[in-house]
């Protein structure tokens, strides 16, 4: 998808250096993808801390649970 974006030259240059891309469009696409990935990971971490998932808190807790049938 093509869009027009007003970005300062210094910021765009930094994005290109940090992403390792030589062209503007791939650099911005890579930066946007990385931003989305990090936000999703941050949200996942928040959900883990809030206890949304039913994971054991330690390996001791896992060892104490009786194993169920494997099949």
Instruction: Flag residues of the chain having pLDDT under 50.
Output: none
With 0.85 as the threshold, say if the pTM is over it. no
For the record, the structure tokens of 42 come out as 């941050």
In order of 29, 40, 52, 53, the CA distances from 44 in angstroms are 23, 6, 10, 10
pLDDT value at residue 61: 67
pLDDT value at residue 68: 64
Asked if residue 27 lies in contact with residue 21, where contact means CB atoms within 8 angstroms, the answer is: yes
The residue among 39, 28, 21 whose CA lies nearest residue 3 is: 28
For residues 50 and 42, give the distance between their C-alpha atoms in angstroms, rounded to a whole number.
12
pLDDT value at residue 71: 64
Please provide the average confidence, as pLDDT, over all residues in the chain. 88
């Amino acid at each position: 998808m093509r869009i027009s974006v007003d970005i300062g030259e210094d910021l765009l240059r930094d994005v290109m250096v940090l992403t390792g891309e030589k062209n503007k469009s791939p650099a911005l696409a890579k930066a946007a993808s990385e931003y989305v990935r990090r936000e999703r990971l941050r949200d996942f971490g928040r959900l883990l801390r809030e206890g949304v998932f039913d994971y054991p808190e330690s390996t001791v807790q896992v060892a104490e649970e009786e194993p169920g049938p494997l099949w």
